[in-house]
Structures are given as structure tokens and as C-alpha cells.
Structure 1
Amino acid sequence: MLIVTGVAALAWLYLLLAHGGFWRTSQRLPAGGPPRTWPAVVAVVPARDEADILGLTLPTLLGQDYPGPFRVVLVDDASTDGTAQAALAVGTGRLDIVRSEGPPPGWAGKVAAMQTGVRNASDGEYLLFTDADIAHPADGVRKLVTAALADDRALVSQMALLRTETWWERLIVPAFVYFFSLLYPFGKVNDPRSRIGAAAGGCMLVRQEALERAGGLAAIKDALIDDVAFGQLLKRAGNRTWLGLSTSITSRRPYPKLADLWQMVARSAYTQLRNSPFLLVGCVLGLLVIFVTPLLAVALGPLDVRLLGLLAWLVMAATYVPMLRLYRLPLWLAPMLPAVAVLYTAMTVDSARRHWLGKGGAWKGRTAKTCQ
């Protein structure tokens, strides 16, 4: 127990001091002066059965105060709930609606819908990929373009603030962003010297010429975790990319029950592990050793083990505090991170189970298998 607890303590000291400051929430959209001319921007919104939410989010895109040419292409991705009609009810100004009948063989559903949007956005020097549940501030596109032009960034992406209104949302959602930043530290994503690339699918502004030079969406056509693959594609092609947090870009999608959040995580967790049983075992052991061992050491170990476990637990909780502050949640949730990690471990194992049953990546009637 002393050895395992020591490993956990050393791991947390490394994560605190040498892992790109993953726990910091200070990566915010860079400012810059207005350009002489504003480039044309086309927002691409893949929407599959999103009729209920478009009334809350689509007006925020159509109402942008962007000084240059701007329009929205909404891709009705084989919806059966009247998504196109709901979009038209919001208003037709700046809005074009195109229909997709689903992904062709070899394409993941969302990437295929994004590609349909790209084919209808040839007039855009920049493309803004955003999800149907994302609401944007009125100056959002203007600030994104300013940040992109200020430092020649081919990709600027912001992680939307997710909803935390129910108990389960408060418990699990901040940890979702925390674990994402643990895997892809924003500081390293934004460092041109680092090989780590990623993006947040709810808000990705990309220079269309850079996307084409990198191989286009066809290069990631089968990606189920499309935003990470998108960020990696742009960065590995030699482009400057940026990823940060936002409190003004928000997701309006509710996850009121544990089952809803479980589905959100289990849909892609095993894909994140490249569908590898060996990586699954390593991930489960790693989560248990790093997150659960300190708590067990404090509860069950002798004095020296308890002190070491307490050190690891305190460092762990301290790294979670900035995320809780970002979401304006009580700080007493920080010591509960081991329990949340156990939930995420179970979700990851369930994600693998679904994959083995041919139900991996399930989203609104589609699975990874049916998208191939």
C-alpha cells in the first residue's frame, strides 16, 4: 500500500507541476485589434433531430454583429422531428438549410454532415463549426476572427460552458471538462512546439484554405471524436492552433439524469482508447491508482501511508478547484473527485461493453457500426 500510495502522490505532484498546467482555467480567447477588412465567415451547424433546441440557440448565430460577410448553413442531418421547419421558424435572414440523407459508407455521421456544410460554404474564408445546442454571444464571431488574425492562427476553438443546473450535472459536468484538459492540456495544445492537438466541437473557427491543405474533412471522415481529430489534423499540418475556455459560449443541452450523462461519456470513451482492450485495462488501473488509492490510504492505511495519501488527495482536490470556480460551484465538491473518477471508470468500461456488442458511438439512432 505504501508503494502504490507513493506512486499516486508522485503522479499528482507531476500533474500539478509539469503537465502543462492542465488544471488552470486561464486559457481565454486572446484579444487583438480589428483588421482592416473582415473576412467572410460561414457558420456550419450539423443538426440531427434538434427541433426542440434550435429556438434557443440559432437566433444567437443569426444575430451576430460581425462586420464582414456572414451567413449560417444548417445541415438537416436526416432528421425526423421537423428540424428544418424549426430552423425556418427562427428566421430566414442569413440562413441556408441543406438536407443530408445520412453518412456515406466509411464516414461518421457528424463529420459527414459537416462535409455537407462545407460543400455549401465555398464563399467562406473562415468556417465556424458549431453544434446545434450552442448559444453564442452577439460579438462571438467577431472576437474569434480577431483572435485568429492577431497571431495567424488557422484554428481557434473555445470549450463551451456546459449546463450545471441539476445535481448530476454539477457532479459530473465539470469533471468532464477537467478530464478533457487532463488528456489535452490547453497550454500544450496552444504551444507550437508541442505535438498535442485538440479542439472543442461546439466552437471551432478554421481558415478554410488551411483545412483544405491539411486534407479536408475526408482525412478524419471516420472519426467519432471529431473535434480532437480535427484539432490534431490542423496542428500536424504545421498550423498554429488555439484552444481555450469560455463562459459566454454556452451549451443549452440538458442532462437532467445520470443516464443522460452516462450516455454522453460512454458514447465515445472507448473510442478515445482506440478500441484497445490493453489501453482499457491501463486506463482503469490508472484511474483507480491515481484517484482512488489516496482515499483508501487515508481510510485504511497506517500513519505514514495516511499522510502520503492525504498529500495526494489534497493535491488532487486543489487541481479541481479552478474548474469548480469556473462553473461557480461549491468547493466542497473538490474532495469528491475520487467518487466521480469511479463513475467515469464505470462509464468507460460500459463504453467498451457497448462497442463489443456493436452499439458503440450510439447517438440518436446511429452507432459506430451503422456509420461505417
Structure 2
Amino acid sequence: MGQTAQVGAFVWISAVSLAAWLWLLLCQGFFWRTDVRLPPRRDPRDWPSVGVVVPARDEADVLPLSLPSLLAQDYPGRAEVFLVDDGSTDGTGELACELARRHGGLPLTVGSPGEPPPGWTGKLWAVRHGIGLARARGPEFLLLTDADIAHAPDSLRALVAAARTGGFDAVSLMARLRVASGWEQLIVPAFVYFFAQLYPFRRIGRRGSRTAAAAGGCVLLRTEAAERARIPDSIRQAVIDDVALARAVKKGGGHIWLGLADRVDSVRPYPRLADLWRMVSRSAYAQLRHSPLLLAGTVAGLTLVYLVPPVALVAGAAAGSAAAAVLGGAAWLVMTATYVPMLRYYGRPLWLAPLLPFTAALYLLMTVDSAVQHRRGRGAAWKGRTYARPDAVGD
């Protein structure tokens, strides 16, 4: 009798998991589709001026692959690049000047704001300094882009045309991340897949929608909207600054858009599992607002949605429960099918799709580790800096 009850409970759990996947498939903004690219656009009659702000801390390894692409932008209007050296110890600022002398192109200004004061993350303090330098030139738009992002020659032109045509206050592209190593192939496409599941791109660009997110590596921001939303001062403590920026702009009445990039790429390598683990775990608990309750809910949710289906299929077949096996297999099939478009976008083999439960288990462990590191005072650590919870920092 007890074993029958256990099998019955497992069948119900499998049914709930399948129901969750059917809801995600049909009701979560079609997050799994990868056709949200730059919206229709036309060249404006007059091209507005743009200030390109690049915060950089110890980026000498990637700067030769990224900065020349910004300097070489084929932009009809006036554009300048402002690279902010955020306390680098590897000669980032000097290298930037050398690259500008060697490659020419757009004018480059290199600045350094010094160490951030309490209550500021280093990146946002650098962005603040860069925006200040850019605003002295009176640009209509600001392009906030990371030092590891390489842009196609027409990237800035396409972003500005999309913003002008659609009346957007912020246009952001999720840069195509590097997927060269085996671990990158396993984990990186899933990272973008999970992000889109949390923040469906179609909802972000819809007026009246409360969903707001951006990809910090490439955000074209209307200067007026930045001033209205008090960017970056209003988000100065944010570890996940791109989502915080999008929320601030949208809260200020701005119209924002986010989609996948075609010709904007991250050149930063994450060859080892440890590299990817640090990248995810440094901000995962911040995403959960440092809440143990949200952490518990996330662990339970990931287990139900991603881990139950394969376990139900295998355990159901072993225990002779056809219902559990069928329900688990159906949920796993839906999960696999929704992951295929992202693998195609990244040009990865489709046999990786059924491995998504394993990847999700890794993300679950990274999230738990993020919470543990925060409890030990080592959370949100990046390039020699560790940031406290926002409510632990006074004004």
C-alpha cells in the first residue's frame, strides 16, 4: 500500500512538471524562440551624435579584439569613444591609447575615476565617469558597451536607426557569447536560454508590459532617458546592473527593447568549468535579492521543472509505472524541443539538447554556491572587489 502511494505521488509530481512545461511553452512569451533581432529600421535624415562609454578593469587580454571594432565604426554622424580605466593593474589604459594610435578611427578619450566610493560598484562608478565625459559633448545617445564586446562595423549605425525608427529609449543586444570549449558549449547557450525564460524578449519591447531587462554588454541609451532615470546614480549598488538599468528606464516612462545579436560578440573566453562557475555564481544570489526563501523556491522550481522529467522517465520505467515514465518523457521532450532553437542560434550540435537537465543541475549548484559565498562574505566578487548586499551599505 505504501509503495503504491509513493508511485501515485510520483505520477502526480511528473504530471505537474509536464503541466509546467506546457505552460512555459505556450504562455511565457514564447521565450524559446530566437527570432527577436533588431526591429525594422530606416536610416534617419540626420544622424544623432553618440558617446560610446566603455568601462574597463584589467582588460588588456581582450581589448585588442574589441576596442578596434569600436574605433572602426562606420557611422555617418558624430561619435566618440570614452574608455574608463577602472583601476587596472595590467596597463589597460595605456594599451587603449596605443590601439587608437595604431588603428585610428573614432576619437578616443581615456579617463580614470579612481576607486569607487562606498555604495557604488566599480563598473557603475566607471560608467558614471564615462557618461560625464560623454555628456560634455552633448550626445543624443549613449552606447554603453563592455570591454570584451566586439562590434561589426555597422553595429552603431543599426542600433541608432532602430532606436530612432521605433522610438525606443533603450535598445539592447544580447551579445553572442563565446562557445569554443566543451564547457562553454554545454553551459553558455543555456545561460541565454534561462535568461530569456526569466525575461521573455517579446514582453520587454511591448508598451505597457512590466517585464524589463537589458544585456549590459551592449545598450544604446537615449541621453534624455538616462537623465530622467538618473542613470547610473539610481542603480549605483546594483550587481546585476543591466536589468536594474532597464527597470529604471522603464519606470521613468521609457520604451525599451532587447533581442539577440547577429554581429555583436563577446570575445571573453571561459574555457574551464571554474571560469563559468564564477561568472554565474558571483551574481546568482543577488538575482534572488539575497533571500533564503527565494533561494529555496528556486531550488524547488529547478528540481521540479528540469530534474523531475528525466528521473520520472528512468524511475518510472524501472518501477513499472508507465504513467510516470510517459509523463516524464513528455516533459523532457518539450524541454528538449524548446532548447533546440538556442543551440541552432549558437551553431552547436543538437545532441546537446537532451543534456539540458544536467546543465540545469549545474546552474542549481552554482546558485546554491552563490548563496554560500555571500554568507561567508565573499559574494559578488569580481576582479579583486567584493560587494556587500545593498541594504548593508549606507548612503
TM more than 0.5: yes
- In the other structure, the counterpart of 2:329 is 310
Q: Deviations over 1:133-158 (max 9, x none)?
A: 00000000000000000011000000
Give the whole-Å Cα distance in 2 for the aligned partners of 1:356 and 1:159: 31
**Partner amino acid for 1:95?**
L
Give the whole-Å Cα distance in 1 for the aligned partners of 2:13 and 2:122: 43
- 8 Å contact from structure 2 (residues 178, 268) kept in 1: yes
- In the other structure, the counterpart of 2:219 is 204
Decide which of 267, 286, 290 is 2:305's aligned counterpart. Answer: 290
Q: Deviations over 1:286-327 (max 9, x none)?
A: 001110000010000110110011110000001100000000
- In the other structure, the counterpart of 2:121 is 108
- 8 Å contact from structure 1 (residues 102, 113) kept in 2: no
Aligned to 2:53, the other structure's residue is in SS state strand
**Partner amino acid for 2:80?**
R
**Partner amino acid for 2:379?**
G
**Partner amino acid for 1:102?**
E
1:147 has 2:166 as partner: no
- In the other structure, the counterpart of 1:33 is 42
- 8 Å contact from structure 1 (residues 76, 98) kept in 2: yes
- In the other structure, the counterpart of 2:84 is 75
What is the CA-CA distance between 1:193 and the residue it aligns to? Answer: 2.1
Aligned to 1:91, the other structure's residue is in SS state helix
- In the other structure, the counterpart of 1:270 is 285
1:321 has 2:340 as partner: yes
Deviation larger for 100-109 or 35-44: 100-109
- In the other structure, the counterpart of 1:120 is 133
What is the CA-CA distance between 1:216 and the residue it aligns to? Answer: 2.3
Aligned to 2:97, the other structure's residue is in SS state helix
Deviation larger for 97-106 or 259-268: 97-106
Give the whole-Å Cα distance in 2 for the aligned partners of 1:29 and 1:370: 35
Larger radius of gyration: 2
Give the whole-Å Cα distance in 1 for the aligned partners of 2:177 and 2:259: 14
What is the CA-CA distance between 1:170 and the residue it aligns to? Answer: 0.1
1:157 has 2:166 as partner: no
Q: Deviations over 1:257-278 (max 9, x none)?
A: 0000000000100000000000
Aligned to 2:42, the other structure's residue is in SS state coil
**Partner amino acid for 2:24?**
L
**Partner amino acid for 1:229?**
A
Alignment gaps of 5+ in structure 1: none
- 8 Å contact from structure 2 (residues 85, 93) kept in 1: yes
1:13 has 2:54 as partner: no
- In the other structure, the counterpart of 2:13 is 4
What is the CA-CA distance between 1:88 and the residue it aligns to? Answer: 1.1
**Partner amino acid for 1:96?**
T
Q: Deviations over 1:229-281 (max 9, x none)?
A: 01111112111110000121000000010000000000100000000000000
1:338 has 2:357 as partner: yes
- 8 Å contact from structure 1 (residues 44, 129) kept in 2: yes
> Paired residues, what number?
372
Give the whole-Å Cα distance in 2 for the aligned partners of 1:353 and 1:109: 23
Give the whole-Å Cα distance in 2 for the aligned partners of 1:67 and 1:243: 24
- In the other structure, the counterpart of 2:6 is none
What is the CA-CA distance between 1:100 and the residue it aligns to? Answer: 2.1
1:234 has 2:249 as partner: yes
- 8 Å contact from structure 1 (residues 76, 99) kept in 2: yes
Q: 1:363 to 1:278 in 2, by over 3 A?
A: same
**Partner amino acid for 2:234?**
A
Give the whole-Å Cα distance in 2 for the aligned partners of 1:191 and 1:223: 24
What is the CA-CA distance between 1:370 and the residue it aligns to? Answer: 10
How do residues 86-97 of structure 1 correspond to structure 2 at under 5 angstroms? 86-92=95-101, 93=104, 94-97=107-110
Give the whole-Å Cα distance in 2 for the aligned partners of 1:240 and 1:91: 34
RMSD, aligned CA: 1.1
- In the other structure, the counterpart of 1:131 is 146
Aligned to 1:182, the other structure's residue is in SS state helix
What is the CA-CA distance between 1:51 and the residue it aligns to? Answer: 1.0
- 8 Å contact from structure 2 (residues 149, 265) kept in 1: yes
- 8 Å contact from structure 2 (residues 290, 389) kept in 1: no
Aligned to 1:132, the other structure's residue is in SS state coil
- 8 Å contact from structure 1 (residues 155, 240) kept in 2: yes
Deviation larger for 230-239 or 4-13: 230-239
- 8 Å contact from structure 1 (residues 31, 143) kept in 2: no
- In the other structure, the counterpart of 1:247 is 262
- Relative to the length of structure 2, the TM-score reads 0.93
1:60 has 2:69 as partner: yes
